[in-house]
Structure 1
Amino acid sequence: MNDQPFRFEYRAFAPDFGLLEPRLRALGGAPLIRESTEVYLVAASRDDQNIKIRGDQLDIKQRIAEREDFQQWAPLGKWSFPLAADARKALTEALGLDTVIDQAAGSALDTLIDHFVQQRQVVVIDLFKRRFGFEIGNCQAELAEVTINGAALKTACVESTDLAAARELSEQLGLAAYPNTSYIDALMRVTGLTR
């Protein structure tokens, strides 16, 4: 982990956010728009790990704290394929698996996905994101259209290293009226791993 302070995050998922969207656009101005196709790896026993592959790069984050309804996530690392031994070990630990992922399985994204599909210990989830990012004061905010294994949803998020600023903005936008739900919790619900 690095020495930089970790951001506090408040994220919600809904079919529509009503007035939150125009409020966010009014406060944030023109958004930075990004699109990505991602693969999430989810183990039913680990809702504190955010494991995704975007742009042929494995990215692992761990939830390290919860304060005042906000979650704090720490990046554990980013690795490119083929996955070196340290990356395979980190992925094995993050998924809570007993056996370290072997070199052949970590050689490419398709091989890794096939490995998990055959073992059935990990759910592989395809995700498309169209993100609208905003900088508002000390906070970053985001509104995104996501497609999770074909299911369309929206997500909104406020994050900052300044918890008071993040809380104030989430209340101002109306985001605090929705339950704080991490990507992993939302993915587990959509795929039926939890209710």
Structure 2
Amino acid sequence: MTSSARFEFRTWSRNFAVVEDRIRRLASCEDIRESTEIYLVAPRMSACNIKIRDGAVDTKALIDELADLEQWQPDWNGQFPLAAQALSQHVFRPLCGEVPDFARHNFTEQQALEEVLRPHPLIVPVKLFKRRFSFAIDGNMVEWVQVLINDAGLESIAIESLDPERVTKVRCMLGLAGFRNVSYPRLAQHVIGMKPLRGGFEEGGKLGPGN
């Protein structure tokens, strides 16, 4: 297993106050970070996570699924300005398999968004604001996240580790065994109506007792 390929469980609700309280009883908050990001989604995408953040394109690949967990491998990071060839290889081919005719050899972030991404018939840039509260519980990275997705307010709990059994253990400790695992790209597809989740993201989402 590649050291950076973590197993991840991420779930969503309109309010996770009860779970936040459980997390804070188990650990102290280690960091608070805010960011504005743009996720790039398309109807046919299934195993890629592509976002624009801090003047760069950041990509991850879904390499395995185990016991309702997803294992994501950091794949590529490219700073703007980016060559058309890099956009072709790392953005357009994974998202839709088709490469447009580029009018430039190199693109700034604004040029890429305005000239080739937003006009594309299949790709939709989705704006997210995140406020992430980070904790460490039983060898896992745990985040409680306040998220705005195209101005829709939601909350997320994420648990990540190299060891899938540790993720499952903490998931049960927090009472989240009945909640669905939904990645950022899949949730973005749902919010914009591109590819709704069957029954919505909270299907089956009843909190267990926790600790």
- Pick the TM interval, shorter chain: over 0.9
Pairing 1:148–2:149 present = yes
User: How large is the RMSD of aligned CA atoms in angstroms?
Assistant: 1.8
Q: Which runs of 5+ in 2 are unaligned?
A: 197-211
Classify 1:119/1:86 alpha carbon distance in 2 versus 1 (closer, same or farther; 3 Å): closer
Q: Is 2:128–2:148's contact at 8 Å kept on the other side of the alignment?
A: yes
Matches within 5 A, 1:14-163: 14-84=13-83, 85-99=85-99, 102=102, 104=104, 107-114=107-114, 115-163=116-164
Give per-residue Cα distances to partners, 1:82-103, cap 9 Å, x unaligned.
1133454121222123226737
CA distance in 2, matches of 1:176, 1:142: 16
Q: Which runs of 5+ in 1 are unaligned?
A: none
Code of the residue aligned with 1:8 in structure 2: it is F
Code of the residue aligned with 1:29 in structure 2: it is S
CA distance in 1, matches of 2:131, 2:123: 25
CA distance in 2, matches of 1:99, 1:110: 19
CA distance in 1, matches of 2:67, 2:138: 20
Code of the residue aligned with 2:122 in structure 1: it is Q
Offset of residue 49 of structure 1: 1.1
CA distance in 2, matches of 1:107, 1:14: 37
CA distance in 1, matches of 2:121, 2:105: 14
Offset of residue 109 of structure 1: 1.3
CA distance in 2, matches of 1:105, 1:25: 50
CA distance in 1, matches of 2:174, 2:30: 16
Classify 1:168/1:119 alpha carbon distance in 2 versus 1 (closer, same or farther; 3 Å): same
Offset of residue 65 of structure 1: 1.1
| TM-score normalised by length of structure 2 | 0.86
Give per-residue Cα distances to partners, 1:71-121, cap 9 Å, x unaligned.
111111111001133454121222123226737385111111112222222
Q: Is 1:49–1:62's contact at 8 Å kept on the other side of the alignment?
A: yes
Code of the residue aligned with 1:64 in structure 2: it is I
Q: Alignment partner of 1:21: what SS?
A: helix
CA distance in 1, matches of 2:106, 2:95: 14
CA distance in 2, matches of 1:102, 1:136: 47
Q: Is 1:82–1:107's contact at 8 Å kept on the other side of the alignment?
A: yes
